[in-house]
Amino acid sequence: MNDDKITDIEPAPIYVSLELSKRSWLVASLLPECARPSLRTIPAGDSAALLDHLQKLKERAARKAKGPLAIRLCFEIGYDGFWIARMLLANGIDTYVLDPASFLVSRRGKRVKTDRIDAEAMIGILKAYLAGDKSVCRTVAVPTPEEEDARRLMRERSDLVRERTRIISRIRGLLALHGVREVRAIWGGKWADQLDDMRTGDGRPLEQHQRRQIERCFARLELLNDQIKLVEADRAQAITSETTSFPCAEKAVRLEQLKGIGSNSATMLVAEVFCRQFDNRRQLASFIGLAPSPYNSGSVERDQGISKAGNHETRVLLVELAWCWLRYQPASELSQWYRDRYKGRGKRSAKIGIIALARKLLIALWRFVETGLVPQGAELRAT
């Protein structure tokens, strides 16, 4: 009977917060029955030193505590990513990754900010959160290494495409300075032969240094095109391989069945959004940042547009898919809804309408990958 009572005792918490930086980690800890947190600085990235310090904190608290102890640790998500959380969880330490943008801060005057103040404030936030006050902050779900690696695949492609666009714009700008408006080999091909025959607006061949600069830009462009092809080959293998570690690969395959949804878009949506679990459509729209953000105070009522609180790249992709949906799924119920409500009412109305269509399309695609429910009137690709 006494043993049962001992095991039912709630462990006394040792609150710990980490303030991470590139050079050092500041560890703030609050032991049971202590009024103020203690501080300790350890080298950045030294996980062994961190675990050793946590063990010493537990031993120190055990000298005065009469019951079991448990470490409750938190830190802000940032430069170091999630590897620290996975390491701590693997060592049996209760870890919470906090979203710093969700902290409630004072808006009176200038806010004093130091690592010490932030570390001590996080302990107070963690105590309130564990006590049941979920309004003080939001926690970030720690992804598995497979989920994080799947996101990296499509994010690398997005980075390469943006870099390719900058180089193409640079080439066109260099040529436009001398009256050259058309570049036929901009997407690949025999661009060197085209430079031989190219003439400026006043009939001169390209100058020596100008041509060499353009050649180097084309060389970088060719390298980027090759790297994008390699990334897309890795994507195809990750989706179709039987031994793939890509999460929810079957959802990406299902999305590709819909006309207007390409393979890259389907993979990115699954890696960033549909590999997660959502209880309802409101949670889904809020996660992407496509939820409305009204402003109602006293007699003032106005709409501030969408919240834009989620993943920017995914939100941009959904707007692009909404335009593609209108083109490749004109007979669908969503396209008909957009035409009846927004078409022919000006550019502003079209811009507002495409955002609304993107939100509806997101929910329809979510239902499709989860339950197989085809959006009303949508066409599937021939198998």
* Residue 380 covered by a domain: no
Look at residue 8 and tell me whether its pLDDT is greater than 90: no
Residue with tokens 């006043």, as numbered in its chain: 202
Same domain, 348 and 257: yes
| Tokens read off for 13 | 């918490």
Q: How many domains does the chain have?
A: 3
Count other Cβ atoms within 10 Å, centred on residue 367.
Answer: 15
Same domain, 54 and 100: yes
Q: Domain end: 240, 264, 284, which one?
A: 240
Residue 207, class by beta-carbon neighbours within 10 Å (0-12 exposed, 13-18 middle, 19+ buried)? exposed
Same domain, 124 and 10: yes
Residue 218, class by beta-carbon neighbours within 10 Å (0-12 exposed, 13-18 middle, 19+ buried)? buried
Same domain, 9 and 121: yes
Same domain, 83 and 18: yes
Per-residue confidence at 306, pLDDT binned at 50, 70, 90?
confident
Same domain, 185 and 207: yes
d(CA 152, CA 143): 12
* Residue 287 covered by a domain: yes
CB 31 within 8 A of CB 14: yes
Bridge partners (DSSP) of residue 97 are: 75
* Residue 36 covered by a domain: yes
CB 222 within 8 A of CB 187: no
Look at residue 123 and tell me whether its pLDDT is greater than 90: yes
Same domain, 37 and 149: no
Residue ranges with strand state E in the chain: 12-20, 24-30, 38-43, 69-76, 94-98, 292-297, 300-306
* Residue 90 covered by a domain: yes
| Tokens read off for 110 | 């200038």
Q: Specify the 3-state DSSP secondary structure of 300.
A: strand
Pairing outcome for strands 38-43 and 24-30:
antiparallel
**Tens digits of residue pLDDT in 15-45:** 999 999 999 999 999 998 888 899 999 999 9
Q: Specify the 3-state DSSP secondary structure of 93.
A: coil
* Residue 135 covered by a domain: no
Q: For residue 47, what pLDDT is reported?
A: 92
In the sheet that holds 24-30, the strands lie side by side as 38-43, 24-30, 12-20, 69-76, 94-98
Q: What is the arithmetic mean of pLDDT over 233-238?
A: 90
d(CA 56, CA 59): 5
| Tokens read off for 72 | 């409750």
| Amino acid residing at 320 | E
| Tokens read off for 175 | 């040529």
- Looking up residue 29, the CATH number of its domain turns out to be 3.30.420
Same domain, 271 and 338: yes
d(CA 18, CA 21): 10
Residue with tokens 């980027």, as numbered in its chain: 224
Poorest-pLDDT segment among 141-155, 173-187, 212-226, 306-320 = 173-187
Q: What is the arithmetic mean of pLDDT over 196-225?
A: 86
* Residue 382 covered by a domain: no
d(CA 78, CA 98): 10
As a whole number, the mean pLDDT across the chain is 87
d(CA 236, CA 309): 30
Q: For residue 6, what pLDDT is reported?
A: 47
Domain residues for 48?
2-130
| Tokens read off for 55 | 């063990």
Pairing outcome for strands 38-43 and 94-98:
unpaired
Which residues lie closer than 8 Å to 347 by C-beta, 6 or more apart?
none
* Nearest partner of 102 among 122, 130, 83, 123, judged by Cα: 122
Same domain, 218 and 166: yes
Same domain, 301 and 360: yes
The gap between the terminal CA atoms of the chain, to the nearest Å, is 66
Same domain, 30 and 107: yes
* Residue 264 covered by a domain: yes
Q: Domain end: 103, 130, 157, which one?
A: 130
* Nearest partner of 73 among 2, 142, 122, 9, judged by Cα: 122
Per-residue confidence at 107, pLDDT binned at 50, 70, 90?
confident
Q: What is the arithmetic mean of pLDDT over 151-164?
A: 91
Count other Cβ atoms within 10 Å, centred on residue 110.
Answer: 6
d(CA 354, CA 322): 6
* Residue 218 covered by a domain: yes
Q: Specify the 3-state DSSP secondary structure of 72.
A: strand
Same domain, 276 and 220: no
Q: What is the pTM of this model?
A: 0.80
